[in-house]
């Protein structure tokens, strides 16, 4: 029989760890002296201690180790652990890549984040704009038309609206565009206004501050970031207008979020 100190040395487990595993029912002493409360272990228990140490080094939780000791196939638990660690590995790689991208960009003008946009009801409208600047007149007209069709229609909180460019390439004239705005319920439709459910989407997000004339820089940065980090686009980019001509006097204060749906 081995005293707890000797067992600690042979098992390479601290006395604190042995007391913890005893409390959890994983490794109980072979006997406990009723007078001195000294704990004694058998040499055969070193194998159990080694298994616990090995499983803990693999990242298994106490509950998972208990399951193994209770008869659950250890390969099943390790397979689940492998899946979880692989996801964590991809997340860590993504964070490392983002940190490197930020460090390489001395001005740190743009920073990319990943987020999930919940499922929403939206009304949509499409048109062909003669020039890009016409968008600031067209979007309000779409909203007025939707309200005319649906008096009392309410936008979702927090608000969410965006435009998508559907040509598949940059165009200076005859621009095919779709506007989407989240609302609280479906409404009446006409030839231009349509309602649909916008599914939940994972997106890469970047903010551009300043004139729309140089917003191409933000798009270029976002697309390069997505390519370098192994993301696959799952739809056209979404251009969300947060601050603009309607509430800011200076172009320098205009704020636009670009969201790229990803798989």
pLDDT in tens, 68-116: 999 999 999 999 999 988 888 877 887 777 677 666 654 456 788 889 9
Task: Kindly report whether the global pTM for this prediction surpasses the value 0.75.
Answer: no
Tell me which residue has tokens 């996801």: 87
Give the 3-state secondary structure of residue 61.
coil
d(CA 209, CA 253): 6
Mean of the per-residue pLDDT values for the chain?
89
**Who's near 155: CB < 8 A, 6+ residues apart?**
161, 181, 182, 183, 184
d(CA 147, CA 160): 17
C-alpha distances in angstroms, 235 versus 97, 151, 177, 179, 219? 23, 32, 14, 14, 14
Mean pLDDT of all residues in 149-175: 88
Of 38, 49, 42, 35, the C-alpha closest to 2 is 42
Q: Residue 208, class by beta-carbon neighbours within 10 Å (0-12 exposed, 13-18 middle, 19+ buried)?
A: buried
Tell me which residue has tokens 């390519």: 227
Q: Please give the pLDDT value at position 33.
A: 87
Judge if the upstream peptide bond of residue 158 is cis by omega within 30 degrees of 0. yes
Confidence of residue 217 (pLDDT cuts 50, 70, 90): confident
pLDDT in tens, 113-131: 889 999 999 999 999 999 8
């Amino acid at each position: 029989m081995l005293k707890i100190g000797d067992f600690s040395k042979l098992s390479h487990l601290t006395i604190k760890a042995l007391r913890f595993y005893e409390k959890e029912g994983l490794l109980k002493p072979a006997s406990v002296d009723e007078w001195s409360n000294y704990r004694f272990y058998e040499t055969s228990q070193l194998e159990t201690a080694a298994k616990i140490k090995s499983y803990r080094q693999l990242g298994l939780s106490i509950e998972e180790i208990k399951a193994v000791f209770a008869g659950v196939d250890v390969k099943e638990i390790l397979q689940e652990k492998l899946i979880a660690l692989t996801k964590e590995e991809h997340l860590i790689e993504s964070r490392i890549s983002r940190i490197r991208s930020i460090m390489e960009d001395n001005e740190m003008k743009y920073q990319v984040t990943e987020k999930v946009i919940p499922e929403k009801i939206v009304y949509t409208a499409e048109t062909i704009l003669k020039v890009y600047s016409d968008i600031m007149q067209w979007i309000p007209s779409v909203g007025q038309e939707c309200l005319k069709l649906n008096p009392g229609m309410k936008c979702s909180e927090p608000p969410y609206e965006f435009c998508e460019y559907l040509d598949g390439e940059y165009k200076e004239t005859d621009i095919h565009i779709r506007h989407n705005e989240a609302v609280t319920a479906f409404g009446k439709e006409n030839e231009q206004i349509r309602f649909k459910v916008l599914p939940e989407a994972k997106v890469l997000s970047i903010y551009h501050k300043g004139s729309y004339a140089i917003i191409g820089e933000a798009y270029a940065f976002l697309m390069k970031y997505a390519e370098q980090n192994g993301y696959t686009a799952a739809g056209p980019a979404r251009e969300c207008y947060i601050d603009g001509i309607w509430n800011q006097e200076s172009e320098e204060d205009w704020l636009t979020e670009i969201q790229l749906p990803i798989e």
